Chains A and B, each alone.
Chain A
Amino acid sequence: MADPILQISRLNKSFGPVHVLKDVDLNIYPGEVTALVGDNGAGKSTIVKCIAGINNIDSGEIRFEGRPVTIADPRDATALGIEFVYQDLALADNLDITQNMFLGREISRYRSFLSDGEMERQARATLASLSVRTVSSVRQLVANLSGGQRQTVAIAKAVLWNSKVVFLDEPTAALGVAQTRQVLDLVRRLADQGRGVVLISHNMNDVMEVADRVAALYLGRVAAEVHTKDTTTTQIVELITSGRSGELGLAQTVASESI
């Protein structure tokens, strides 16, 4: 098996007296979808924010492609090739698809004049490479797109840049059946193109369908990191709700002490 592209070890994070993340270990492998699951307040978002550089970590190590790295700022993460698709998508409704995909990183000539044509071409090439057929024009305003199309644009934005790891926060939460289908296919395609994909989700069907591994968080600890094909939905739900499931998960003492 390939080495993990992103390795997080013994990560700790407190907000004041609240110890949110306790010695979290997490490995993200290239070409695989890793699902990050856990109940509300288990620390999923905090992990993401620590890796994104929005929150600083208290202790622990982040290794990217084997090298230890410090991520103090969202730009550090971007520079490494880690992209995030947040639940609220962070798209500007008054701009079109191309403009959103290049937001903050526009291609320009003479230092500050926009090269709209070049950006349009690359946006189209990126969407095409993802086999996106739901978007008819890259010059549409994002305000006029459906939920699934917006999710597609947000994901394509992550793919446009030379991303090696993509974090997706609840990408299917607000979508209908057909659109969920399209987005899950897209998630799978991201991994098949060699990226490390982290899928944060509450939906066990999605997780079982698209993820290669599952990391279950329980009260700030990683209860278990398992292969999807070796587990069942029931086991994962048990890991989420009580931190252990049969042989899997935290030791009895640790699981109960956490409460």
Chain B
Amino acid sequence: MSSTTPETNVEAGALPAAPDGGFALDVEEKSIGDAVRGWVGKLRTGDPGALPSVLGLVVLGIIFSQVSDRFLSALNLGNLPGQGAYIAVIALGLVFVLLLGEIDLSAGTAGGACAAFAAVGVFKGSLDDGLPGFLYWALVIGMVCAIALAVLLKTYAGAAVVAVGLVLILTNLTQHLVPALVAAICIGAAIGIFNGWLVAKVGIPSFVATLALFLAWQGVLQFALSGQPINTSNYDLWRDLTYGTLSVAQSWILTIVLVAGFIGYTVLRSVRSKAAGLAHESLNLVLARGGAVAAVAIVLTYLACRDRGTFAVKQGIPVPAAIAIVLMIACTILLTKTTWGRHLYATGGNAEAARRAGIDVVHMKVTAFAICSAFGALGGVMLASSQSSASLDLGSGNVLLFSVAAAVIGGTSLFGGRGRPRDAILGALVIAIIPNGLLLRPSLGAQWQSVITGVVLLIAAAVDAISRRRAARG
């Protein structure tokens, strides 16, 4: 976009020389003390960030460690990522839609249907034979329509993704596991484009449009499976999405790459900004924070790499944890470092301002819904993995609501404009830790799970509401 716009006055040198004075705060270094004060200030003015979800995790952790001494065992904690990963993945997708102030209630069942298509493809060897005849053609025609819609709405990346899925289906590559899972995600993108079109172009409120589809995709899922659940635990890769672990070497490589990348990036940013005379964080702050992150990551990796198996050796970072963290980082980069992400925040903060600034709001909504449903599809695949089967109610029930709750508990606002991918991960941990802790003491019963999850969500929503009010008051 920048290539077509005229240059700024600053570039053109058309502005008169600045009188002295101005922005003392900007060129100052942000020291560790400033960072702490800034953080406290944000808390006071109604931006609690990750604090509520981290506090919630700590409190729940303390409670459950009293409930059962098995809670803090390495085996139990190692299982936690597998139990929460599908919620985290769906919630990550939801963050994009929630940032716009919209919601996608259909992500769970749509994801379930996508995972079911993949399961049928690999189990029956061919989608054409495996699906009821009308459904196969509905799928193909639906994807062609999604490509057309995406092109019409100038969402070319979305069109390309759906086209990949269509090719995989038509060439019957979906009989192999990896292409089938890729196709599932592409089908998810197609569903999302359709959602986005309904909301942004047709003008149906997203709550209603996706509620209708929430119901519809459940039926499609049952059609796709022809009433027969498909066992997914026979496929090693699919099972490993929940139950696998990285090898010890892979675990350390992942940790070192991520931590070194984070520290390297923040140090470079600090040094460069300082050289350019911009607002920047002091090197002390960067190193202190990087050191803290590195310490936590190394301790966690070390613990994960000890043998925690009871019968066989089980060590290394769980695959679902690695997937969630890598996706979170990718989403964070997309949202904070690209023009698309900036436009998404702007559209969620003030759609009218975004429209006047020349941002194609319809395009933003369509892409956000497409990403959300694609993540929903991956979440459905991971859910099938954790249940060891593509069941007839895959992705229905509480799955979507837990994912929305995860995003909100993490600090994403339902009103748009505020939220981060990190929220989805922290919130999903909170959601996953509740049944994990309760099930260790069978006498507590499953009924507590719903009550406690509900109370935690209510507290999170109250924190959001109160902080908004404080922010509005200034």
Q: Which residues of A contact B (CB under 8 A)?
A: 74-75, 78-79, 81, 84, 86, 88-95, 99-100, 103-108, 112-114, 117, 120-122, 124-129, 131-133, 135-139, 143-144, 159-163, 193
- Sample (16) of A-B pairs whose CB atoms are under 8 Å apart: A90-B350, A92-B350, A93-B349, A93-B417, A94-B346, A99-B346, A103-B342, A103-B354, A105-B1, A106-B339, A117-B276, A122-B11, A128-B19, A129-B18, A137-B26, A162-B9
3 nearest CB pairs, A to B: A104-B357, A128-B18, A92-B349
List the A side residues contacting B308 at CB < 8 Å. Answer: none
B6 within 8 A of A: yes
List the A side residues contacting B345 at CB < 8 Å. Answer: 92, 94-95
Which residues of chain B in 324-378 are interfacial with respect to chain A, using CB atoms and an 8 Å cutoff?
A: 337-340, 342-343, 345-346, 348-350, 352-354, 356-359
List the B side residues contacting A160 at CB < 8 Å. Answer: 8-10
How far does the alpha carbon of A99 sit from the alpha carbon of B338 in the complex, in Å? 12
Q: Does B22 contact A124, Cβ atoms closer than 8 Å?
A: yes
Partner of B9, one of A112, A144, A159: A159
How far does the alpha carbon of A94 sit from the alpha carbon of B472 in the complex, in Å? 12
List the A side residues contacting B10 at CB < 8 Å. Answer: 121-122, 125-126, 160
Q: Does A105 contact B356, Cβ atoms closer than 8 Å?
A: no
How far does the alpha carbon of A160 sit from the alpha carbon of B12 in the complex, in Å? 10
Question: Given the known A-B contacts A75-B358, A112-B338, are A117 and B278 also in contact in the complex, defined by CB atoms under 8 Å?
Answer: yes
Q: Does A124 contact B23, Cβ atoms closer than 8 Å?
A: yes
List the A side residues contacting B25 at CB < 8 Å. Answer: 136-137
Question: Given the known A-B contacts A137-B279, A138-B26, are A91 and B11 also in contact in the complex, defined by CB atoms under 8 Å?
Answer: no
Q: Does B276 contact A121, Cβ atoms closer than 8 Å?
A: yes
Could you tell me the distance in whole angstroms from the C-beta of B473 to the nearest C-beta in chain A?
Answer: 12
How far does the alpha carbon of A120 sit from the alpha carbon of B272 in the complex, in Å? 13
Partner of A117, one of B45, B273, B346, B356: B273
The A/B interface has a contact count, at CB < 8 Å, of: 156
Q: Does A103 contact B276, Cβ atoms closer than 8 Å?
A: no
Question: Given the known A-B contacts A114-B337, A162-B6, are A143 and B26 also in contact in the complex, defined by CB atoms under 8 Å?
Answer: no
Q: Does B16 contact A193, Cβ atoms closer than 8 Å?
A: yes
Name A105's closest neighbour in chain B (CB-CB).
B5
Name B352's closest neighbour in chain A (CB-CB).
A90
Q: Does B15 contact A129, Cβ atoms closer than 8 Å?
A: yes
B17 within 8 A of A: yes
Name B277's closest neighbour in chain A (CB-CB).
A121
List the B side residues contacting A93 at CB < 8 Å. Answer: 349-350, 417
How far does the alpha carbon of A133 sit from the alpha carbon of B474 in the complex, in Å? 21
Question: Given the known A-B contacts A92-B346, A161-B8, A162-B7, are A106 and B2 also in contact in the complex, defined by CB atoms under 8 Å?
Answer: yes
Per-position binary interface string of chain B over residues 3-39, scored 1 when its CB falls under 8 Å from any chain A CB and 0 otherwise: 0011111111011111101111110000000000000
How far does the alpha carbon of A89 sit from the alpha carbon of B5 in the complex, in Å? 21
Name B21's closest neighbour in chain A (CB-CB).
A133
List the A side residues contacting B18 at CB < 8 Å. Answer: 125, 128-129, 131
List the B side residues contacting A125 at CB < 8 Å. Answer: 10, 15, 18
How far does the alpha carbon of A93 sit from the alpha carbon of B418 in the complex, in Å? 10
Could you tell me the distance in whole angstroms from the C-beta of A64 to the nearest C-beta in chain B?
Answer: 14
How far does the alpha carbon of A143 sit from the alpha carbon of B418 in the complex, in Å? 12
Q: Does B338 contact A103, Cβ atoms closer than 8 Å?
A: no
List the A side residues contacting B417 at CB < 8 Å. Answer: 92-94
Q: Does B22 contact A105, Cβ atoms closer than 8 Å?
A: no
Partner of A79, one of B6, B24, B353: B6
List the B side residues contacting A129 at CB < 8 Å. Answer: 9, 15-18
B455 within 8 A of A: no
Name B15's closest neighbour in chain A (CB-CB).
A129
Could you tell me the distance in whole angstroms from the C-beta of B47 to the nearest C-beta in chain A?
Answer: 9
Q: Does B354 contact A144, Cβ atoms closer than 8 Å?
A: no
Q: Does B15 contact A94, Cβ atoms closer than 8 Å?
A: no
Question: Given the known A-B contacts A106-B339, A143-B471, are A78 and B358 also in contact in the complex, defined by CB atoms under 8 Å?
Answer: yes
Q: Does A133 contact B22, Cβ atoms closer than 8 Å?
A: yes
List the B side residues contacting A161 at CB < 8 Å. Answer: 5-6, 8-9
With A92-B354, A128-B22, A129-B15 already in contact, 10 other A-B pairs whose C-beta atoms are closer than 8 Å: A74-B356, A94-B418, A104-B358, A106-B342, A112-B340, A117-B272, A121-B278, A125-B15, A144-B474, A159-B15
Of A117, A133, A139, A163, the most chain B CB neighbours within 10 A belong to A117
How far does the alpha carbon of A132 sit from the alpha carbon of B19 in the complex, in Å? 10
Per-position binary interface string of chain B over residues 400-426, scored 1 when its CB falls under 8 Å from any chain A CB and 0 otherwise: 000000000000000001100000000
List the B side residues contacting A106 at CB < 8 Å. Answer: 1-2, 339, 342
List the A side residues contacting B343 at CB < 8 Å. Answer: 103-104
Partner of B359, one of A104, A121, A135, A163: A104
Could you tell me the distance in whole angstroms from the C-beta of B19 to the nearest C-beta in chain A?
Answer: 6
List the A side residues contacting B278 at CB < 8 Å. Answer: 117, 120-121
Could you tell me the distance in whole angstroms from the C-beta of B368 to the nearest C-beta in chain A?
Answer: 15
List the A side residues contacting B337 at CB < 8 Å. Answer: 113-114
List the A side residues contacting B354 at CB < 8 Å. Answer: 92, 103-104
Could you tell me the distance in whole angstroms from the C-beta of B147 to the nearest C-beta in chain A?
Answer: 22
Could you tell me the distance in whole angstroms from the C-beta of A205 to the nearest C-beta in chain B?
Answer: 27
Q: Does A107 contact B2, Cβ atoms closer than 8 Å?
A: yes
Question: Given the known A-B contacts A78-B358, A107-B2, A137-B26, are A95 and B19 also in contact in the complex, defined by CB atoms under 8 Å?
Answer: no
List the B side residues contacting A113 at CB < 8 Å. Answer: 337-339
Could you tell me the distance in whole angstroms from the C-beta of B271 to the nearest C-beta in chain A?
Answer: 12
Could you tell me the distance in whole angstroms from the C-beta of A136 to the nearest C-beta in chain B?
Answer: 5
Q: Does A95 contact B346, Cβ atoms closer than 8 Å?
A: yes
List the B side residues contacting A122 at CB < 8 Å. Answer: 8, 10-11
Could you tell me the distance in whole angstroms from the C-beta of B156 to the nearest C-beta in chain A?
Answer: 13
List the B side residues contacting A112 at CB < 8 Å. Answer: 338-340
List the B side residues contacting A121 at CB < 8 Å. Answer: 10, 276-278
